Structure 1
Amino acid sequence: MSLILLLYPTLFLLATIRVSKDTFPSGKGGELKRLQVEQSLVEALRQALAEPSGQRLYKSGKLSGLFPSRHGVHGAAAEQALREGLLEIVRTETKGKTVIEWVRLTPHGVEFLHARESPLYALQELRSTLQLNQQAAPLWLMEMRNSLHALEERLAADARKWLERLDALARRVEETLRRLEQAAPLVPPEVAEAHPWAIDALNYLERRRLAAGPPANGVAGCCPLPELFAALVPQHPNLSVQLYHEG
């Protein structure tokens, strides 16, 4: 302890922040407000220390001031600075209904600022911040779980819609293929009766044409007769060369 007193003799100067119980709501929100007010107060005191001759208490338009606003966190910090004697009013100016206050840093304000710039106070503030984050962690985890659950449901719904579209497309393809396979080129009944292999021959020629793609130079390639005969024999073993040529 003596070592700490030697290195930082002003660590133990008392500078209590007096805030009434009604100033901020209780709980986590009140602690967060307190930290925000103190941060605004420390920043203003640093600025006042840099210009000891005096500055405007509040910023006005393009004119600089220690506090950006008279309301909210900055307004509460300014009221605390005057109430606790951290800043003192050196003069006032009246413009219409607005009173402009000029202030400067007091010795008590210097001690207040030094105490909050010390390593001990920084560690205490870090501890408060860690405690706030620890308290907020369960809520954050719950929100993250809810977000992930909603994302999972959305992805599952999108996947179901996509699979339904794929299934419908697959059914259409299967139906089209079935119709194409069952469809046979129209030939006169007497030709089909006299030459049963004629329908299969026409089907083979059609499949060959589709497999060959667009004809080169607009002229479709011819199927050699031996090739067509070889394609028909597996389906019509009794087909002879003579019957084939007669057809």
Structure 2
Amino acid sequence: MDGPFPISDTHAPGGFVALNDPRHTECLLEALKTAIHNAGEHRLFQSGKLPGLFPARTGIAAEAALHALRAGLLETVRTEAKGKLITEWVCATPKAVGYIHDHDSPRSILRELKDVLQATRTGVPSFMAEAKAELAALSANFEERASAMLARLDDLAKRCESALRRAETSGPAVTESVGRVVPWAIDALEYLDRRSESGAGGDCPLPELFHAIGVRFPELSLPAFQDGVKRLHDVRAVRLVPTNAIPEPEYAVVVEGKLMYAVGR
């Protein structure tokens, strides 16, 4: 980018820093979902007909991109300089999965629904008084606002129902005995669920899961991680699967004579 852009940040649930303007959050979520769904590196900004995670180097898109880099949701892989124009190539980090989960997950949808319902309930008395007093002049505007409000509530109700169904059927759980042997089991299962809800395609590579768990368990060694993953596979909490490519073979585990390099639910 050509230079820094001022961003007003506030702390949000889940330990992340949130952008004040919902338009920034929407732009950021769309970019992160694209980066996660299509693994690998991406241009940070669109350039002509060449695709990028953010559509422009100015305005809302630029501020959202700068926030993503500052918060560690995206990391720069390489840069290309052509004259005065610098093209940045980035990829999503494990933090991006958690950000999408906290801002576009069952819990975030339910929080949004609660806020909308509370605001609606609080505003009804004064809104009705104003509507009665100015009914003749504001009838058209009243109908438009009521329709928009109902449409939003209907949309949130549908999303809430879907979120509750997912929440009731996807709760990670392991037995107490397994939890003692693999103390990070719940964290691993929650990360896999969040990754799936965030739109990441395919099974999770073992190196990605190891680094994601390492944020909370920095003392976890690779051999202990591999032994724990095999135990979770044995009790059917996860399923280990082989892949066509194994770029980091030291992370692979052997199950029934086969090299397993990815894990799913």
TM range (shorter): 0.3 to 0.5
Q: Write 1 or 2 for the structure with the bigger share of helix.
A: 1
- Point out which structure has higher relative CO (alpha carbons under 8 A, 6+ apart): 2
TM-score (norm 2): 0.40
Q: Write 1 or 2 for the structure with the bigger share of strand.
A: 2
